[in-house]
Amino acid sequence: MSEVIYMGEKNKKLSEKIEELSGEKITLCEQCGICTTSCPMADDMDITPAGIMRYSQIGDEKVVDSEAIWICASCFTCTVRCPRGIDLAKVAEALRELNLRKNVDHIDVNHLDEELNELPAIAVVSALRKFTS
Amino acid sequence: MKIGVYVCHCGGNISDAVDVEKVAEFASRQPDVAVVRSISHMCSESGQRAIIDDIQQYNLDKIVVSACSPQFQGETFKKAVAKAGLNPNMVVMANIREQSAWPHHDEPENATEKAKILTAMAIEDIRKKEPVEKVTLKMGKNVLVIGGGIAGIQASLDLANAGFNVYLVEKKPTIGGHMAQLSRTFPTEDCSSCILSPKMADVAEHPNIHLMTYSEVLEVNGSIGNFNVRILKKPKYVDEDKCTACNKCTEVCPVSVPDEFNLGMTMRKAIYLPSSTAVPHSHVLDEDACLGLKPLACGLCSQVCEADAINYDDMPQYINLKVDTIIVATGFDIFDAHLKPQYGYRKYRNVINALEMERIIVEMAEGHVIRPIGKDIAFIQCVGSRDAQVGNLYCSRICCMYATKLASLLKRMDPSREVYVFYTDLRAFGKGFEEYYRTAQELGVKFIRGRPGELAEDPESKKVVVRVEDTLTRKIIEKKFDLVVLSVGLVPGEGTVKIAEMLKLPRSADGFIKEAHPKFRPVDTPVEGIFVAGCAQGPKDIPDTVAQASAAAARAMSLMNKGEYEMSPIKAFVHEDLCDGCGLCVDKCPVDAIKVAGVAEINVAVCKGCGACISSCPRNAIDLRIFSNEEVMAQIDAALRDKKPGEKRIIMFADDMCTYTLADGVGTAKLKYNSNTYIIRVPSSSRVTPEMMVRAFEKGADGIFLGECEAAVSPYPDTLKVIEENVKKAREMLARAGIEEDRIQYSPFVTVMFKKFVALADKMLRMAEKYGDIPEEKRRRLGMEKVIYHE
């Protein structure tokens, strides 16, 4: 069964938001796929880097909820190779930011989860930084 | 002085909005006007007849036609006055249709007032006008063609067949260029060298073509009709006429070096035939590879040469030529794949470029296996094209089709091969191209949409691992190939860059030579008398190259055929008594037409008549014919005469090519803008000096607008810069007199910016209304500022 994406205002808004946060013109992507096979983590991603660009152009919400944006190592290989000169690392960062704004993994410092205590201190600090705002 | 003024009704087009009788009556009260008529259709036979009869009957010496745009009917009336025995410059048109009746059609009173002033401006203009003689140059029939690829060959043959004298200069020892290296041509799969070699032979045998191979253009001076060219003919050490190409010298030569014709994949000797179809069909001795000539170290080749063609004492020759026109056909280089290190060119054994693949296939067809190519072959598209990372944003246009061709040929040779083309967009735009793409698909070539980020080599098998995202299935595919071919793009050749600098030809952002107009003068360069053909102008395939070469030849012929060349009479000239030879104008000229020898001298063959030099002269010693300072000033004064208190008048200087045409277009479309705008036609707004602008304000202008062609379409390079400087100076003077600086505005235009034109015209008026009238004492202070500026 094919998934149909009904393009509406929310798609437009998401695309615009990604462009605003990343400062990159995502419509420039010509879908050559060079980013994907430059990416050292692409094999572990649920959406390929070129796919991330495509879904961003369409404004499909699933890109914000993807695993791929967290697997991105910010190594910038895609950025230095993109023939259209798009800084894909910035786009990924914008998507992570959008995901965080949903507050899905929000941590309340007053009620820390038990399992957090088992983590190394540095991971706790990192989690607090990311998920408390 | 007796002036005749003719007001046209244009069958209602003008007279519906403008009261032509009032305009005629107004004209009759102007100085020096002897005859005034209003006529239904001035451009008709009877209208022209009226002018001719009046000139003869009343001895009129100057004519004003208040009718439509001079761009539309200017030539008609020039011819009419010439018929009556006047100089063609003795007629001026007031454009009361496109600039008044049409844009102001719903305000007839204002339209009539504006038509009166436009007519007065034309009358004042013609009062200052003087007869201008034709500027002609003697033209011979000598053409220099630089570059002996297919473009240069085609242009040379066309010109030579038409009876012109062609000097064809090629830096390599043989003509033929890249086309001679190709296997077959798309989409017809003709053998490339088989269709090219008869043309090469024609060049060698043609009595009107002087072929100079192994030669370089060192220096070009002068201008159209008189280019002085210096050429270096490098020594070949073999007499072209005596050599029989028997190959005995090559057989005995002990030195082997990489053969550039096969891109270094095979070896050649130090004395060699450049290719099997070389023209001239003569061996050549590579001085650098030879064991030694001075003193002679080996001498074997001379011993075996039965034709006695080898001359170790051959010397470089310097040849001086005088030619009338030049065709630049210097071609392209392929993109250097080293610049994309991630593809491992020359690092991985089985990664080659497409031109190497061409040579491999040609040699295979002749039974020579240069290198094994295996079963599984991949093509990677857009290497060095459409790539911001290497700075080449353009599409090289031919790679999609040559890859399709090479893939098809490989598949035809051995259908069991697996041939893949990895692409982003497949562009099959030409005649027969889409069908050819389909044929390749029928042959089983696999086109995968996706380009690899990098290539890797399997350390054992030396196969090349291609990993690519198939962007259609969104899956990553990985496959090992025996050979990967990089479909490299085209870049401006080293020769193209060198020649462009030598001839002062501007290049576009992609680095290729820029044409004079992208649509209507595609083979002309901005330098008069120099044309461009083939890939020197931009990447293109063989049919386009040949078409362009024939076009360049035809354009060169059209300049030379009459024996003289009539130039535009609009040229800068110097008042020698005023000029003190300071040389400030020299740098202002965008085409280097000015030299100072005691006083400034203008090379009329080079001068394009923009007038950018005028504002630089501190002594007003430099001026422009047909659009002289006096003529422009007279129009400014007339446009501002009898201005009532509270009334607003804006002067718009419009360059002929873009802004004036645009204003005509706006009028023709009957788009409304305010009737307070008075347009003065100039070749380029860069000829409007700061003094003129200030003078306009002194005389009562409320705003000044300067329109100029956008740089990309402008016939004059760099004039916008001059306008910017002039405006800055004028604004400073306004500021010192306490007048708002932004009453002077300028903008680049192209001929279709209708909305922008209307918006800017209205913006100028709104600004003038906002600022209100300029007090008389401030206007008077401007006169003093002008004096200060001058000193």
CA torsion B106-B112-B114-B119 (nearest 10°) is: 140
A–B: how many Cβ contacts below 8 A? 70
B342, B386, B471 member nearest A33 (Cβ): B471
Place of tokens 């479909």: B487
Instruction: Give yes or no for a contact between B693 and B727, defined as CB atoms under 8 angstroms apart.
Output: yes
- Determine the pLDDT at residue B192: 96
Give domain status of residue B41, yes or no.
Answer: yes
How close B452 comes to chain A (CA, Å)? 5
Q: What is the CATH classification number for the domain harbouring B599?
A: 3.30.70.20
Domain co-membership, B632 together with B616 = no
Helix (H) or strand (E) holding B353: strand B351-353
- Determine the pLDDT at residue B543: 97
How close B415 comes to chain A (CA, Å)? 28
For β-strands B267-269 and B256-258, DSSP reports them as antiparallel
C-alpha B304/C-alpha B246 separation (Å) is 10
Instruction: Give yes or no for a contact between B548 and B571, defined as CB atoms under 8 angstroms apart.
Output: no
Give residue B530's Cα distance to chain centre. Answer: 10
CA-wise closest residue to A66 among A91, A84, A87, A32: A91
The residue type of B565 is Y
User: B582: domain range?
Assistant: 571-624
How close A34 comes to chain B (CA, Å)? 4
* CB spacing of A32 vs B389 below 8 angstroms: no
| Region for residue A117 given its phi and psi (left: phi exceeds 0; alpha: psi -120 to 50; beta: otherwise) | alpha
A87-96 burial by CB neighbour count: b if 16+ within 10 A, else e?
A: bbbbbbbbbb
C-alpha B713/C-alpha A127 separation (Å) is 58
Domain co-membership, B148 together with B217 = yes
- Determine the pLDDT at residue B789: 62
Give residue B529's Cα distance to chain centre. Answer: 11
From the CA atom positions of chain B, what is the Rg in Å? 33
Interface test with A, best of B386, B399, B420, B471 (most A CBs within 10 A): B471
Give domain status of residue B760, yes or no.
Answer: yes
* CB spacing of A81 vs B389 below 8 angstroms: yes
Chain A contact present for B382, CB below 8 A = yes
Domain co-membership, B558 together with B576 = no
Q: What is the CATH classification number for the domain harbouring B296?
A: 3.30.70
The predicted complex's ipTM stands at: 0.88
What phi and psi values does residue B467 have, to the nearest 5 degrees? -115, 125
The full DSSP string for A39-97 is: -TTGGG-SS-HHHHHHHHHHT-GGGTT-SHHHH-----HHHHH-TT---HHHHHHHHHH
Give residue B191's Cα distance to chain centre. Answer: 33
C-alpha B449/C-alpha B162 separation (Å) is 49
B228-260 burial by CB neighbour count: b if 16+ within 10 A, else e?
A: ebebbbbbbbbbbeebebeebbbeebeeeeebe
User: What's the length of chain B?
Assistant: 791
Alpha carbon distance, N-terminus to C-terminus of chain B = 36
Domain co-membership, B774 together with B641 = yes
B453-470 burial by CB neighbour count: b if 16+ within 10 A, else e?
A: bbbbbeeeeebbbbbbbe
Domain co-membership, B546 together with B593 = no
Rounded to two decimals, what is the model's pTM? 0.80
* Chain B residue nearest residue A83, CA to CA: B387
Helix (H) or strand (E) holding B377: strand B376-383
Mark the ranges of chain B whose per-residue pLDDT is less than 50.
none
Where is the domain boundary, B444, B476, B491? B491
Instruction: Give yes or no for a contact between B205 and B241, defined as CB atoms under 8 angstroms apart.
Output: no
Domain co-membership, B145 together with B115 = no
C-alpha B373/C-alpha B376 separation (Å) is 8
Residues of A in contact with B396 (CB under 8 A): none
* Chain A residue nearest residue B388, CA to CA: A83
- Determine the pLDDT at residue A126: 79
Q: What is the CATH classification number for the domain harbouring B725?
A: 3.40.50
Give domain status of residue B342, yes or no.
Answer: no
- Determine the pLDDT at residue A75: 95
CA-wise closest residue to B369 among B339, B413, B401: B413
How close A43 comes to chain B (CA, Å)? 8
Domain co-membership, B682 together with B582 = no
B337-354 burial by CB neighbour count: b if 16+ within 10 A, else e?
A: bebbebbbbeebebbbbb
Domain co-membership, B394 together with B481 = yes
Chain A contact present for B393, CB below 8 A = no
B342, B451, B476 member nearest A32 (Cβ): B451
| Complete domains list, chain A, with CATH | 9-102 (1.10.1060.10), 105-133 (no CATH)
Domain co-membership, B578 together with B615 = yes
User: What's the length of chain A?
Assistant: 133
CA distances from residue B698 to B133, B614, B728, B789 in whole angstroms, order as listed: 34, 21, 17, 15
How close A30 comes to chain B (CA, Å)? 8
Domain co-membership, B497 together with B486 = no
Give domain status of residue B208, yes or no.
Answer: yes
Give domain status of residue B338, yes or no.
Answer: no
Q: What is the CATH classification number for the domain harbouring B355?
A: 3.50.50.60
Instruction: Give yes or no for a contact between A55 and A15, defined as CB atoms under 8 angstroms apart.
Output: no
Chain B contact present for A35, CB below 8 A = yes
* Chain A residue nearest residue B340, CA to CA: A81
Domain co-membership, B608 together with B682 = no
Chain B contact present for A81, CB below 8 A = yes
3-state secondary structure B626-691: CCCHHHHHHHHHHHHCCCCCCCCCEEEEEEHHHHHHHHHHHHHCCCCCCCCEEEEEECCHHHCCHH
Give domain status of residue B345, yes or no.
Answer: no
Give domain status of residue B341, yes or no.
Answer: no
Mean pLDDT over residues A56-85, rounded? 95
- Determine the pLDDT at residue A133: 59
Give domain status of residue B241, yes or no.
Answer: yes
pLDDT tens-digit readout, A76-107: 999 999 999 999 999 999 999 999 888 877 77
Where is the domain boundary, B564, B597, B616? B564
* B304: its two tokens: 């075996």
Number of domains in chain B: 6
Domain co-membership, B111 together with B216 = no
* CB spacing of B382 vs A43 below 8 angstroms: no
Chain B contact present for A34, CB below 8 A = yes
For β-strands B135-138 and B62-67, DSSP reports them as unpaired
Chain B contact present for A58, CB below 8 A = no
The partner residues of B599 in beta bridges, in order of sequence, read B597
pLDDT tens-digit readout, A107-124: 777 777 777 778 888 888
- Determine the pLDDT at residue B711: 84
What phi and psi values does residue B762 have, to the nearest 5 degrees? -70, -35
C-alpha B499/C-alpha B332 separation (Å) is 12
Where is the domain boundary, B441, B464, B491? B491
How close A49 comes to chain B (CA, Å)? 10
